[in-house]
Amino acid sequence: MKRAVLLLALLVSSTASAADLVVDVTNVRSSRGHVRLSVCDEAHFGGEGCAYDGVADAREGVTRVIVHGVPAGRWAVQAFHDENDNEAFDQNFLGLPQEGFGFSNNPPLRGKPHYADSAIDVREPTTEISLRLRNSIFD
């Protein structure tokens, strides 16, 4: 019996800690499509290949997206409003966004955002943040 209790204690203590990251995305301009977001480490922030993703039906105003199982630590969030549901962040021929976009901590934009300006600390069991979508680069 003692051996089983010890084994169970070892298994529980060796599991990786993880949190639910709750993101309230504000300034969503319509209820069309979905709000998609990625939780990224520094190497992937501002691009593709982020470790964790979340999606929710868009709701005009505020859309809540929950990402389960994010390990505690330092992460940055990037989000966009996929109004046409093509699962891609649409840009025009000049590379300007055609859909709402945003980043954790709502950093000022002078080109691509910096990880240091958007990084947040995710802690167990739940971390809640808010980020504001920009519906143009001038927003």
Domain for residue 9, yes or no?
Answer: no
- Residue 139 in domain: no
pLDDT digit string, tens, across residues 39-54 = 999 999 999 999 999 9
4 is a domain residue: no
56 contacts 62 by C-beta, under 8 angstroms: no
Per residue in 55-111, pLDDT tens?
Answer: 999 999 999 999 999 999 999 999 999 999 999 999 999 988 999 999 999 999 888
137 domain-assigned: no
Q: Which helix (H) or strand (E) holds 39?
A: strand 34-40
Predicted local distance difference test score (pLDDT) of residue 17: 80
| 3-state SS assignment for residue 98 | coil
Q: Does residue 78 form part of some domain?
A: yes
Q: What percent of the chain has pLDDT over 90?
A: 80
Structural domain including 36 reads 17-132
Total number of domains constituting the chain: 1
Q: Hey, what's the torsion of the CAs at 67, 47, 94, 104, to 10 degrees?
A: 50
Q: What is the mean pLDDT of the chain?
A: 90
